[in-house]
Amino acid sequence: MIYLDNASTTPVSRSVLNDMLPYFTEKFGNAGTLYSLGRDAKAAIEKAREQTAKLFGCNPGFVFFNSGASEGNATVFEGIWGTLRSFGQTHIVVSETEHESAYLAVGQLGLKGFELSTVKPNADGIVTCEAVKAALRDNTGLVSVMYCNNETGAVNEVKAIGELCAEREVFFHCDCTQAAGQYPLDVNENNISFATISAHKMYGPKGVGALYMITSLDPIIQGSSQQEDGFRGGTENVPGIVGLGSACASAVFNMERDNEYIQNLKQQFVWELCHHMDVTSLEDAGIGINGRHWVSTGKVLNLHISGVHGESLVLAMDAMGVCISSGSACSEHSDEPSRTLVSMGLTPEQARECVRVSFSKFNTVDEVKEAARLMAVAVKLLREGVSIP
């Protein structure tokens, strides 16, 4: 199997797994207990908090562990609306390219009397500062724009948006799930108020993540005041948290090297696909790249392949032993066209003809070459109406 859906999830690295294993067995203590086994677990959590804080570029006291970015995003919107309403800041700005966990959570605030404004990306899928600025009002309390998009990899103008929000004294929520491990998050330099990540997007375990928050939010899971300083109740997932911390430490240390390698793989895939389609550019084969960002750092390549239904190509590639996707894993089974791609200007029909190929540090050059060859074969057969089991 050749796995090229790393924007959906990544394999757990061996070093991360090795760091986690003791906390399933001999170091299995509850971090809330007083004896040494519990104290060891608590110390492991605090070490992971320091490692995660370095990824965010912040003080460890601003980092809180949870089940992942979806919970983190929901926590921000559910936890801040009361504060915003008390100050009369009942207007929220959100980009149309946000992950469902943020986009739908914002929508829920509309039921609580908040006014919502959505911001479209430009044709390259980038949410610009100017677009956000045009949407701001005197009563805007929160702006939500992700760092980079999970479907296209487009990197938004986060630094400029953060500066704008700081100038206007507006909270800035930034879903950093896809950016973590690919780009320096630096929440202080980017003036980010709330940031979310998930471990499984950067070679860590599923079901664990972290929320950076500059100001207190109302908790959505009640529990002991000793668990995450009373912000999130429930017995801590010590092995998972250790895995997140280990993945963050590895990401910080290896970011430049890994990104250079992944970028080379992505370029190799495009060259090989051109070669096997017998063209000098993908456009000559009726294949478009959604966004300019593919030439920059980042693991995602989003392709519009005219005349080929995205899901049909995903299934054909699967039959050939290659894993790619037709969009976000959260909406993979939906027949609805991608909200992100449509907001970039694609028609619903064109959006359904798109696939996402995403690379990792564990992929090899030989794998990428073979995957490109097989995609060329699959595209030609599907365009000819040949069914691929």
Separation between Cα atoms, residue 166 and residue 189, nearest integer Å = 11
**CA-to-CA distance for 54 and 183, rounded, in angstroms?**
13
The residue behind tokens 């700081």 is 166
Its sign, for the CA torsion 241, 64, 50, 173, is positive
Q: Residue 49 in contact with residue 245, Cβ under 8 Å? A: yes
Q: Which tens digits make up the pLDDT trace of 254-271?
A: 999 999 999 999 999 999
Report the share of the chain in percent with pLDDT over 70: 95
> For this structure, is 58 an active site residue?
no
pLDDT band for position 9 (50/70/90)? very high
Given this model, what pLDDT does residue 8 score? 97
- Compute the distance between CA of residue 209 and CA of residue 244 in angstroms, rounded to an integer: 7
pLDDT at 330 over 60: no
Average pLDDT score over residue span 65-73 = 96
pLDDT tens per residue across span 271-290: 999 999 999 999 999 999 99
CA distance 271 to 318: 22
Is the pLDDT score of 118 beyond 60? yes
- 3-state SS record for 138-201: CCEEEEECCCECCCCCCECCHHHHHHHHHHHCCEEEEECCCCCCCCCCCCCCCCCCEEEEEHHH
Alpha carbon of 275 to those of 55, 63, 186, 331, 356: distances in Å? 39, 47, 40, 32, 20
pLDDT of residue 60: 97
- Angle at CA of residue 11, ends 6 and 14, nearest 5°: 140
Q: What is the pLDDT of residue 294?
A: 60
Q: Measuring CA to CA, which residue among 348, 353, 341, 374 is closest to residue 309?
A: 353
What is residue 164's predicted lDDT score, i.e. its pLDDT?
98
**pLDDT category, 329, cuts 50, 70, 90?**
low
Annotated catalytic residue: which of 148, 176, 330, 354? 330
Beta carbons of 5 and 325 less than 8 angstroms apart: yes
pLDDT > 90? residue 334: no
The candidate with the shortest Cα–Cα distance to 188, out of 164, 207, 168, 163, is: 163
CA 80 to mean position of chain CA atoms: 22
CB 278 within 8 A of CB 380: no
Distance CA 298, CA 98 (A): 18
Residues 128-178 have pLDDT tens digits of 999 999 999 999 999 999 999 999 999 999 999 999 999 999 999 999 999
| pLDDT tens figures, 338-371 | 999 999 999 999 999 999 999 999 999 999 999 9
Residues 206-224: what's their mean pLDDT?
87
Backbone phi and psi for residue 212, each to the nearest 5 degrees, phi listed first: -95, 130
Structure tokens at 80: 């801040």
Residues 6+ apart with CB under 8 A from 144: 76, 92, 93, 94, 95, 98, 102, 106, 173, 174, 175
Whole-model pTM: value is 0.94
pLDDT at 24: 97
Bridge partners of 355, per DSSP, are 303
- Output the pLDDT for position 333: 52
Placement of tokens 């032993």 in the chain: 321
pLDDT for the residue numbered 253: 96
Is the confidence at residue 226, as pLDDT, over 90?
no
Q: In which order are the strands placed within the sheet that holds 287-289? A: 287-289, 300-305, 354-358
Q: What is the pLDDT of residue 296?
A: 63
pLDDT at 383 over 80: yes
